[in-house]
Each structure stands twice: as structure tokens, then as C-alpha cells.
Amino acid sequence: MGKIKFSVAYLIMTLLIVSALLILVGCSKKTTSPTTSTTTSFAPTTIATPSTSTALASQYSVNSTSKTGIGTYLTDGKGLTLYWTTRDIVGQSNISGATLTNWPVFYRSINFLPSSLKFSDFGSITRTDGSKQTTFKGWPLYYYVNDHIAGDVLGQGLAGVWFAVNPALSAPPSPTTTTAVTTTLTTATEASPTPTTTTPPSFPYQGSGTGNWSGSIIYNNKTYNISGTMSITVDPNGVFSGSISSNATGGTADTTITAQVEQNGNLTGTVSFTVSGTTFVTNWQGKMTASGNALSMQGTWTSQYGSGTFSGTGTSSK
């Protein structure tokens, strides 16, 4: 019996010793130097990888980029160039009819912009047909039909009135005009000349007509000799538009004319046409003349693949 009591007492003492040791270990951990248990929190950081940046840019309603010779200009979220024109005024588009084929309307809800652009600069107008059009500083925005990929700025300066939108400007740049200045010398006894008011001459080339064009294209080591007909109109603002046909296989369907006739009769612009499934953008330069109600035109066209000539006649409708 005495032996059992001794064993129980020994067991109790052993448990007490073990418990004491565990308490000491716990206390020892709590008194460890604070530097080993301090946790430092870092603010989350997002690293913009090239793919992330590209994805972000594609979400922008409108973006901006730059190009040598043009500077900074606006694009849509896919990088296609946005244009404005001196033919419009703040809050109103004057572009309609066939011209919209070459200069499609741009409309987006402006929900997401890069930090370089201001939401307050953007708005919208309701066009006469009821459709919406986005504006920048009040000016309506457009695409150009021959811009197909990001970086294309083929509409810059066309007809002297279409420009890629420079976000630093408040309006499209004015067309360059040359004004003749006459200086009159007077003496003390000579009366000053009476100022005269000059009325701008009416535009003489408004009308319609037909013509012919011809030339050759060298593409993929093959020469295409082509010719065809034209059917064109010139509106009161000098916008030269219409259609052309071609005798070459596959060439007529998506012909696009973007040209301008100036007050002096100079005709400049671009014409795109398709030959054997390939679309060529050509630069047209020529001259229109008017005699009574008769109109005539002639000039040349060029591209990196070939060149040719055009001519035609028409009737004035002014």
C-alpha cells in the first residue's frame, strides 16, 4: 500500500514538473525580441506589362498618340485616327451625303480616357438624320475611309480642310490662303484712297460630268493596263465625288473618291480602286476650267505601283 502511494505521488510530481517546464517555454517565447515578430505591410503594386498596357489602351473610348510630321493626335480605342474639318462649326456637322462615305461619323460614349485627356472636352451632337456624333471641344469627329490600321493618317490635310485632331488645339487649323497686299503711297497733299469692299467670286465649278481615265499598275511583277470611265459631281464647297469604272478584272466595286476643287480650279485628292482583288490608293492632281455652263477637267494620277491620266467634261449647275 505504501508503495502505491509513493508511485502516485511520484507521478503527480512528474506532471507538475512537466507543466512548469511548458509554462516556462511559453513565457520564453513571449519575451523574445519584438523585432522577430513584427510584420511589415506593403501597398499593393501593379506592374504594367506590355500586354497589360495594350489591353488597357483598347478599353479607352478615345486615346492619343503621336507621329513624326504630324505630332500628337486623337485615335479611337483601336488606334484609328480621328479627324475634324474646317467645313464644320462648333456644335454642327456640315458633312452629309456622299462625303460621309469617305468620312464616316465617329460616335462613342466617353466612359474611359487616359490621364492626358479631359472628359469635359468631349460631348455629342444629334445629326439631322437623328444619329449621334461625338465632338471634341464642340467639333464633330470623323474617321477616314482609307485608314485601315492603327498608325494610318492618310486623311491628314486632304483638300486642305481635313486634319487629324490635335488635342492641344481648340479648332481645326485654318486652310492656308494667300492674300495679295497692295501698298499705296500718299503725300501730304494727296487724298487717301477710299477703301473698297471686295466680294469673293462665286464658285464656278459646281456641277456634274463624265470622263475617262487610263494608266498602268505594276503589282507582284505583273503589269495591268487599265482604263475606265468616271461619273462625278462637284458641290458648292468644291467637294469632288463620284465613281469610276475599270476594264481590269475585279476593278470597280469599292471605288472611293476624296478630292477637292479649289477656287482657282486646282483639283487634288485621292482615289482608291480595286484591280484583281487588290485596292490601290492613288493621288490625283489636275485642273478644272469653266466657260459659260461648260466644265472640263484633266490631270494625272500616281501611286507607288503606277500612274496614268484622266480627263472629262461636264455642265455647271451653279
Q: How many domains does the chain have?
A: 2
- Mean pLDDT computed over 76-104: 91
Of 51 and 278, the one with more pLDDT: 278
**Within a domain: 271:** yes
pLDDT value at residue 23: 58
Q: Of 112, 147, 164, which marks where a domain is finished?
A: 164
Q: Of 139, 164, 189, which marks where a domain is finished?
A: 164
Give per-residue pLDDT as tens, 205-256.
888 888 888 888 888 888 888 888 888 888 887 888 777 777 765 555 556 7
Number of C-beta neighbours around residue 107 at 10 A: 15
Task: Tell me the residue ranges of DSSP E strands in the chain.
Answer: 62-67, 71-76, 83-85, 122-126, 132-136, 139-140, 162-164, 207-219, 222-234, 239-244, 256-261, 266-275, 278-291, 294-303, 306-316
Write out the three cell numbers for 121: 472636352
Neighbour-count burial of 129, counting CB atoms closer than 10 A to its CB (0-12 exposed, 13-18 middle, 19+ buried): exposed
Q: 226 with 310, same domain?
A: yes
Q: 215 with 146, same domain?
A: no
Q: 145 with 60, same domain?
A: yes
Give per-residue pLDDT as tens, 10-26.
666 766 666 665 555 55
CATH of the domain at 248: 2.40.128
**Within a domain: 171:** no
Number of C-beta neighbours around residue 59 at 10 A: 10
Asked if the model's pLDDT at residue 8 lies above 50, the reply is yes
**Within a domain: 229:** yes
Q: How far is CA 143 from the centre of its chain?
A: 6
**Within a domain: 183:** no
∠ CA 266-85-92, nearest 5°, is 130
**Within a domain: 39:** no
Find the domain containing 76 and state its range: 51-164
pLDDT value at residue 277: 72
pLDDT value at residue 45: 33
Q: Which of 155, 151, 109 is nearest to 134 (CA)?
A: 109
- Only one residue has cell 474646317, namely 86
Give per-residue pLDDT as tens, 31-57.
444 443 333 333 333 333 334 445 555
Q: How close are the terminal C-alpha atoms of the chain, in Å?
A: 137
∠ CA 276-280-70, nearest 5°, is 160
**Within a domain: 35:** no
3-state secondary structure of 2: helix
Asked if the model's pLDDT at residue 3 lies above 70, the reply is no
**Within a domain: 305:** yes
Q: 83 with 158, same domain?
A: yes
Give per-residue pLDDT as tens, 177-203.
433 333 333 334 444 455 444 444 567
**Within a domain: 214:** yes
Q: 153 with 243, same domain?
A: no
Q: 57 with 132, same domain?
A: yes
Give per-residue pLDDT as tens, 111-155.
999 999 999 999 999 999 999 999 999 999 999 999 999 999 999
